[in-house]
Amino acid sequence: EPIVPRVSSARLPGPSMFGCFKPRPDDVGAACVRLPRREARRTCLTGSVEGTGRGLTRGWTSVARAAAGDATAAGDDQADKAVVAVTKYEGSSELATQLEAAGDAVAEYLNEALKTWEPPKFLWRTLYTLLLLGLVVKRVVWQRKLNMQQTLQQIARVGPDTLGVAMLTSSFVGMVFTIQFCKEFSKVGLTRVIGGLLGLAFTRELTPVICAIVLAGRVGSAIAAELGTMQVSEQVDQLRTLGSDPVDYLVAPRVVACAISLPILSLLSFSIGMAASILLADLRYGISPNAIIDSAAKYLEAGDISIMCFKALAFGAVIAVISCGWGQTTTGGAKGVGESTTASVVISLVAIFVVDFFISLTWFQR
């Protein structure tokens, strides 16, 4: 490209006292003579500009020649660097294109997969059951809103349905433990501690767990089947249409009924189990009933009865909530009702032992 001299950047001499521009010694221009002010200005200014332009032209030409020489000398290195830069750019561009194509393929696959994906049935049923538990606690504990008529009907249903089976089971379990304790402790002469061991075993673990298992099989399955049938036959939707909340009308009364009935059943079952144990120890092993009663009174405390009732209350609430949750999430007609009933009983049994562990871990570490 042509090199254009920058005349404006040159420093021009200032005006002299005679009204003419005085040129520098290295500038090429006409000598200033004493002329009238206007003509002298025009003549001296013309010569100064022409001389300055020729000097700048020679300067820029030398600079351009030096730059051209440097560029020629360094041409090979710069060419090599340019080739390397172009190669890197082409490689990075190709890698970016491949990554973009892979991202598009992954996004398309995920989009197609999510269209047909459904969350695991157990997962969303569990989440719904936890939500149901929160709603029941909110209605009963905070808002104190409870359908007493439905609650009393459920208590009258839960108690008689479970009492006979729970008492029979507790009595036989008590007699089995009596056989084991009497046989082993008689060998070492510790028959006077049998009553205390039976009382502790019944109050702390056996009675609430046995009654909860009976309640889950007898009442929990019935609740799940009933609510599952109402769900698949759209009776729950009809309740909502009529302005009734299913949680207030169906769930909360059953949870409260089970939570109230199971501690009472546990107390009765404990009494029957201890009576059966005392009878068998007297008739089979000749151990006095007074010895067993005195031993039980010596080792038992009020806290043992309290933990039995607390466990029973927690077990009853857990069984009712799980049964209601699985019943209200039933789908698939009659087949779905059967599956929900079976699943609710199994999960209730597992939940009983899990809750029992955490309550015992918390209570007996004090």
Whether the CB-CB separation of 51 and 27 falls below 8 Å is answered with yes
Look at 59-63, 243-247, 250-254 and tell me which has the smallest mean pLDDT.
59-63
- pTM exceeds cut of 0.95: no
* Arithmetic mean of pLDDT, 276-281: 91
Is pLDDT at 236 greater than 80 in this prediction? yes
Is pLDDT at 358 greater than 90 in this prediction? yes
CA count, 13 A, side-chain hemisphere, 243: 0
Buried b (16+ CB within 10 A) or exposed e, 65-96: eeeeeeeeeeeeeeeeeeeeeeeeeeeeeeee
Look at 68-82, 131-145, 176-190, 239-253 and tell me which has the smallest mean pLDDT.
68-82
Is pLDDT at 26 greater than 70 in this prediction? no
Q: What is the pLDDT of residues 168-213, one digit of tens each?
A: 999 999 999 999 888 888 888 788 888 888 999 999 999 999 999 9
- pLDDT for 255 equals 93
CA atoms 322, 324, 325, 327: torsion sign: positive
DSSP annotation of 8 reads: G
* Arithmetic mean of pLDDT, 113-130: 79
Q: What is the pLDDT of residues 296-330, one digit of tens each?
A: 888 888 888 999 999 999 999 999 999 999 998 88
- pLDDT for 59 equals 47
Whether the CB-CB separation of 321 and 215 falls below 8 Å is answered with no
Closest to 328 in 3D by CA, of 117, 136, 114: 136
Give how far Cα 247 sits from Cα of 292, 319, 324, Å: 47, 16, 10
User: Hey, what are 74's tokens?
Assistant: 């360094």
